[in-house]
A and B are shown apart, each in its own frame.
Chain A
Amino acid sequence: KAGVTQTPRYLIKTRGQQVTLSCSPISGHRSVSWYQQTPGQGLQFLFEYFSETQRNKGNFPGRFSGRQFSNSRSEMNVSTLELGDSALYLCASSSLITSGRAGGELFFGEGSRLTVL
């Protein structure tokens, strides 16, 4: 079974540009989450999608957006890039819906490393 696939793996942008990152979840997984990882802040939750609907959103500015398609693939977009957006962006997929209870393993991809110059 293929794992979570993220593209591109590496990219370099300049300030003011925008970027779109793609994530293909594990087959059958309907939930996709995005996290930003930086040396100083660690892993921070961006948003989570399930069945094309955003269920949760982290504390990031509106420049960060995402969407999920009917095949569960997801994209995230960052507009008007800033130097501080340089980070590893991780996508994770999950299969369980534990109604009324927290939990369920996240399966992470290798990430997309964004450098903003």
Chain B
Amino acid sequence: GESVGLHLPTLSVQEGDNSIINCAYSNSASDYFIWYKQESGKGPQFIIDIRSNMDKRQGQRVTVLLNKTVKHLSLQIAATQPGDSAVYFCAENMSSGTYKYIFGTGTRLKVLA
């Protein structure tokens, strides 16, 4: 069935190191992807998005890579900080013009001091 999944449920990184969070998606027709960050007790917050006509997009300290050949998405966080500790979700949009998203199960990022 259709799914968006994450390879690692928990990722621990040293403060200052780079973090890479991975995601696999199953629908080759998906056109749009978002990474969200969710801190404890809060709703998900938008980090970065990418459309299927791109393979890389950069933001502030974050980069999203899209590999359509293997249906893989990754989020890279440079110089990880304690404030980056949260759960990260990838989401896949499968319905053009609407906001029905399929979310991954999430990866918890722990930043070690």
Enumerate chain A interface residues (CB-CB to B < 8 A). 4, 31, 33, 35, 41-45, 48, 50, 55-56, 58, 90, 92, 94, 97-111
Known: A102-B93, A109-B43. A44 touches B103 (CB 8 A): yes
Q: Give which listed residue, A55, A56, A103, A108, contacts B44 with CB less than 8 A.
A: A108
Task: Select the stretch in B10-18, B26-34, B77-85 that faces chain A.
Answer: B26-34
> In the bound complex, what is the Cα–Cα distance between A109 and B43 (angstroms)?
6
Contact pattern, B 42-75, Cβ under 8 Å of A = 1, otherwise 0? 1111100101000000000000000000000000
Determine if B46 and A45 form an interchain contact, defined as CB atoms under 8 angstroms apart. no
Determine if B97 and A100 form an interchain contact, defined as CB atoms under 8 angstroms apart. yes
Q: Give which listed residue, A35, A56, A105, A109, contacts B98 with CB less than 8 A.
A: A56
Determine if B42 and A48 form an interchain contact, defined as CB atoms under 8 angstroms apart. no
Q: Give which listed residue, A42, A50, A99, contacts B103 with CB less than 8 A.
A: A42
Question: How many residues of chain B have a CB within 8 Å of chain A?
Answer: 29
Task: List 22 A-B pairs, Cβ < 8 Å.
Answer: A31-B98, A31-B99, A35-B103, A43-B89, A44-B103, A45-B100, A90-B44, A99-B97, A101-B32, A101-B97, A102-B95, A102-B97, A104-B93, A104-B99, A106-B34, A106-B44, A106-B46, A106-B99, A106-B101, A107-B46, A108-B43, A110-B42
Determine if A45 and B44 form an interchain contact, defined as CB atoms under 8 angstroms apart. no
Q: Give which listed residue, B30, B31, B96, B99, contacts A92 with CB less than 8 A.
A: B99
Known: A102-B32, A103-B93, A106-B46. A48 touches B103 (CB 8 A): no
Determine if A42 and B89 form an interchain contact, defined as CB atoms under 8 angstroms apart. yes
Residue on B with the closest CB to A103?
B32
Chain A residue numbers with a CB within 8 Å of B32 are: 101-104
B23 → chain A, closest Cβ, in Å?
Answer: 12
Determine if A56 and B97 form an interchain contact, defined as CB atoms under 8 angstroms apart. no
Taking A102-B95, A106-B44 as known contacts, 15 extra A-B pairs with beta carbons closer than 8 A to each other, sorted by chain A number, are A41-B105, A42-B104, A45-B102, A48-B100, A92-B43, A102-B32, A103-B51, A104-B93, A104-B99, A105-B34, A105-B49, A106-B101, A108-B36, A108-B45, A110-B41
Determine if B43 and A4 form an interchain contact, defined as CB atoms under 8 angstroms apart. yes
Residue on A with the closest CB to B6?
A42
